[in-house]
Structures are given as structure tokens and as C-alpha cells.
Amino acid sequence: MRLVPNALAQRSAPWTQVQDAILSDAALRAAHQVVSSWDGYAPTPLHALPGLAAQAGIASLHIKDESGRFGIGSFKALGGAYAVAQVLAQHPSPADIVVTCATDGNHGRSVAWSAQRFGCRAVIFIHETVSQGRANAIASFGAEVRRVPGGYDDSVRIAADVAAREGWHVVSDTSWPGYTDVPRNVMQGYEIMAAEAFDALPAPPTHIFIQTGVGGVAAAVAGLAKRRWGDARPCIILADPTGAACWADSFFAGKPTVAQGTVDTLQAGLACGEVSELAWDILKDHGDFAITVPDHLVGPMMRQLAAPANGDPAIEAGESAVAGLVACLSADGAMRHAIGLGPASRVLTFATEGATDPALYRSIIAGDDLHA
């Protein structure tokens, strides 16, 4: 594991106008009003894990459990679906609209689910290593699924190119120069998860560990933490898979940087080689550290959560859901010292998905750590 401090971030950094144009209390209220009106909306549970807190030598540990979100199994139901709703709000006849995106699995499922719900068409691009189970889940919502060569970042570009040719609406969870409106809505939707968690905590956290793909959800969590607690905000630690460490590499370089290596990881939802520009705008000031999380620690953590022997509640957490928890529990003495983690710490983390690929989940819980 590698700990990379972000030299640009400071607790006293102001919340800037640029940041407020991306995420704001007004935008969160608007997103909450829309999403909470949908059938099936309910805040997901926040669990206290006293057994794991004792194991980590900290005062408390809470985990937000997204496995039951809208029945599609991840927090991504809040983001892509809200962005689709925003696109359709500007178009009177949804049946004439095609929404499209690239996905590692969960974002595409959210877009496909909402397209079916709201009556438009969806075409979802997946890359070479997205599991067939995840492809089938997306198709089950009536979406057309297209598998394309390369990795996630290639599929993002292919989706955008095809959409430009066909006149489709790109609903991407990542942003790039000139494409920010939709991913901003996606991140505003994610803030609902952060707000639910913060509201349910018995005391403000001292540390938040949150896993990163393109960084959208981490930016949403960090942004709300800054707005809610100001300079007293918790230390924000991003948990990046070792095999796709674009946030660790970007913090190291002090600027957005493409991840080194093959961008291949068991943590499929986090397999992104490039940070989102909007997320960078927030996290450069309000994200303090990145810790890299190797795949071989993921299966053991999933199994411990699934069948705790310490009195903690059991939690169904998928391969991309546990990096934050692993970073908290596996940080060595030097890392703990650097991030100020100790007996007085109150940690918040997020189990961002459940068994979104049930066959894969079952095999990992049964002890098969695949290529980890």
C-alpha cells in the first residue's frame, strides 16, 4: 500500500465559487427533492461496527451500506438516474430520446434502470473486462449493451463519438473539458448519499475513507463535508485500487495524471485510469490523501463483512465496495501517524455496492480470490 499526501489540499482552503457551481446546498436540495419522490426511495442504513473499530484501534467506525439502494445495488442509482431525469426534464417526449454512457457496470445499470423507468432508450457501452453478469444486469432493464475493445477510458471516448454521430445524449459519470453539465448532475445525486450518512452519524467524523474510480463520489462526499463542517472538516482519504491508481498518481504529480500500468483490477467499479475534471476541481483542495489498495486484501475484507465473528452486523459488500475500509484497517503505523488515525478517531466509510455480480460475489465469499 502506498500513502500519497495531496500537497495542494488544506483544511482552511475556502469553498470557491468554481466549486459552488459544481456542488452546492441548493443543488443538493434540488437533487433530493427529485430522487426522494421516486418509488422505492429510502435512505440506506448506516451501521456502527464496534468490533472492527476495536480491531482498528479507533473510537468508532460507521459504514454506509448501499447494497439495497433502489434494488439495483449501489449508490450509482442516485447519480446516473438523476442525470437522466434532468436530460428528460428538457425534452417533452422521452420516447424520442436515446441516452448513452460507458460503464464498468454500476453507472450503466443506473442509466439503463432510469431509462426504462422514464420511457427513453438506452445504449450502454462496456469494455473488454466488464463481467457478463454485469452486462446481463444492464440488458435486463431493456438497454442495448455494446461491448467495445480496450478499457473504461476507451469506452468513454467511443460512447461520446457514437453519440455525436447519432444525436444521442451522453450521460457520463466522468467529465472532460467542455463536458461538465451532466456529470455535475451525477455528482449532485451522489451527495444525497453523503447527506444521509452525515445526518445519521451520532458525532461528526474525524476521518472519511472513500474509494475512487474517476473520483465523482469522493468529490461529492468531500464537498459536502467541507460545506457542512468548514475548517473542522474530517480528514479525507481516497482509497484507490493499486492497479488503477489515478488519484494517487495525480496527488503525487500535483495535477491530473493518467494512472500508470494496465488499469486492471478486481475492483471493477474503480478501474479508471483518468480522473474526472470536476472531481479534481473539488478534491485538489479538499481531498487530503490517497492510499492504494491491492486486490489481495479485497476478498478477505468482503468475507469478514459477510460473516463477522465479532458481533458486528453482516454486510453484503461487493468487490468495489471495501477499498475505503481496507485502507482504514490495513494502514501501517507510519501511515496512521501521517493521517492522524488513532484511539480518538471516528471513522466514516462507505460500502458503495452490494453483490452487483452475484456469481462473482458468491465465488469470492466462498474463498476464491480470482486473479487477486
Ligand X SMILES: Cc1ncc(COP(=O)(O)O)c(C=O)c1O
Closest by Cα among 150, 100, 147 to 120 = 100
Q: For the sheet containing 289-293, what is the strand order?
A: 3-5, 289-293, 235-241, 207-211, 346-351, 60-65, 46-48
For position 100 contacting ligand X by CB under 6 A, the verdict is no
Q: How many chain residues are in contact with ligand X, going by CB under 6 A?
A: 21
Which of 94, 133 has the CB closer to ligand X?
A: 133
Q: Which stretch binds ligand X (CB under 6 A): 89-97, 143-151, 209-217, 303-311?
A: 209-217
Which of 106, 257 has the CB closer to ligand X?
A: 106
Instruction: Give the whole-angstrom CA distance, residue 32 versus residue 41.
Output: 10
Q: 80 and 37 in contact (C-beta within 8 Å)?
A: no
Residue 343: CB minimum distance to ligand X, A: 29
Which of 215, 256 has the CB closer to ligand X?
A: 215
Per-residue x/- mask for ligand X, residues 107 to 126, rule CB under 6 A? x-------------------
Q: 123 and 168 in contact (C-beta within 8 Å)?
A: yes
Q: Which stretch binds ligand X (CB under 6 A): 48-56, 81-89, 104-112, 287-295?
A: 104-112
Per-residue x/- mask for ligand X, residues 256 to 275, rule CB under 6 A? -------------xx-x---
Select from 65, 104, 196, 281 the one that contacts ligand X (CB under 6 A): 104
Is residue 284 among the annotated active site residues?
Answer: no
For position 217 contacting ligand X by CB under 6 A, the verdict is yes
Residues 10-49 that bind ligand X (CB under 6 A): none
For position 185 contacting ligand X by CB under 6 A, the verdict is no
DSSP 8-state class, residue 277: H
Listed in sequence order, the residues at least 6 apart from 289 whose beta carbon sits closer than 8 Å to its beta carbon are 3, 4, 5, 6, 235, 236, 237, 238, 251, 338, 339
Q: Which stretch binds ligand X (CB under 6 A): 207-215, 256-264, 332-340, 359-367?
A: 207-215
Q: How far apart are the first and last CA of the chain?
A: 14
Catalytic residue among 104, 153, 281, 288: 104
Q: What ranges make up the beta strands (E) of the chain?
A: 3-5, 46-48, 60-65, 98-103, 121-126, 144-147, 169-170, 207-211, 235-241, 289-293, 346-351
Instruction: Give the whole-angstrom CA distance, residue 321 versus residue 74.
Output: 9
Closest by Cα among 35, 24, 155, 135 to 83 = 35
Catalytic residue among 20, 39, 64, 76: 76
Q: Which stretch binds ligand X (CB under 6 A): 81-89, 103-111, 133-141, 228-236?
A: 103-111
Select from 196, 316, 353, 357 the one that contacts ligand X (CB under 6 A): 353
Q: 114 and 80 in contact (C-beta within 8 Å)?
A: yes
Is residue 39 among the annotated active site residues?
Answer: no
Task: Give the binding site for ligand X (CB under 6 A).
Answer: 74, 76, 104, 106-107, 173, 211-218, 269-270, 272, 320-321, 352-353
Q: Which residues are catalytic?
A: 76, 104
